[in-house]
């Protein structure tokens, strides 16, 4: 009688499936957020200070309202004129141009965009519009109409203070900046990479599980 043959030792099957280890992107995301915040902190004061240029252009290009003094009161020379509305229109058109230009420059230097960038453009544009209005008003004709009328004398025409009749003109800059920035970012900004297809793992016999 022969002893039964003992089968050779078979090692347990090894799992040949390759498991990808997740890669942490925390450092890269933090660096990108800091870069965006740093750019926003530069953009905000730069946009605000450019409002001085808008105010000077507005003072130069806006039509002025003529006033004349009599022994009783101060009157508008052309009661049917549209100089006041024209000053608002000039301010709004210039603000639209400044807003579009500021957004284009931001996209040129920082194409990735981001919430902080958009907020800095919007807030900076609003503050720049207020600074532009103050610049034009402060450097414009005399603010004290009565004192100015007494200084020039009766029957002499002089310019009224440069003012905005409609506060809505202050929104032209931030509106144009956000709109142009959104369009240029969508057109020129970096594209997200296409997701790679996920194939099921291979079994020992080579077939897909």
- Residues 177-197, mean pLDDT to the nearest whole number: 76
Q: Nearest Cα to 163, choosing from 201, 125, 137?
A: 137
Total number of domains in the chain: 1
The residues pairing with 158 across neighbouring beta strands, listed in sequence order, are 67
Q: Which of 2-11, 92-101, 159-168, 192-201 has the lowest mean pLDDT?
A: 2-11
- Within a domain: residue 181? yes
For 182, list phi and psi in degrees, rounded to 5: -60, -45
- Within a domain: residue 112? yes
State the CB neighbour count (10 A cutoff) for residue 171: 17
Per-residue pLDDT of 108-148, as tens digits, reads 988 777 888 999 999 999 999 999 999 999 998 888 777 77
- Within a domain: residue 2? no
Per-residue pLDDT of 53-106, as tens digits, reads 999 999 999 998 888 877 677 767 766 667 778 899 999 999 999 999 999 999
Domain range for 148: 39-65+83-188
pLDDT at 111: 74
For 157, list phi and psi in degrees, rounded to 5: -80, 135
- Within a domain: residue 21? no
- Within a domain: residue 104? yes
């Amino acid at each position: 009688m022969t002893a039964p043959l003992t089968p050779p030792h078979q090692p347990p099957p090894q799992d040949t499936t390759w498991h990808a280890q997740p890669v942490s992107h925390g450092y890269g995301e933090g660096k990108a957020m800091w870069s965006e915040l740093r750019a926003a902190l530069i953009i905000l004061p730069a946009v605000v200070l450019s409002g001085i240029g808008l105010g000077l252009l507005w003072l130069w290009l806006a039509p002025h309202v003529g006033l004349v003094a009599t022994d009783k009161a101060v009157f508008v020379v052309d009661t049917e004129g549209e100089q006041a509305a024209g000053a608002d229109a000039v301010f709004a058109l210039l603000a639209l141009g400044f807003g579009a230009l500021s957004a284009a420059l931001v996209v040129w230097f920082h194409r990735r965009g981001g919430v902080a960038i958009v907020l800095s453009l919007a807030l900076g544009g609003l503050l720049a519009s207020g600074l532009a209005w103050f610049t034009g008003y402060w450097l414009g004709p005399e603010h004290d109409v009565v004192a100015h009328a007494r200084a020039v004398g009766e029957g002499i025409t002089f310019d009224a203070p440069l003012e905005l009749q409609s506060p809505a003109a202050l929104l032209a800059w931030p509106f144009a900046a956000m709109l142009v920035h959104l369009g240029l970012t969508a057109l020129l900004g970096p594209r997200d990479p296409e997701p790679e297809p996920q194939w099921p793992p291979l079994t020992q016999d080579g077939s897909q599980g």
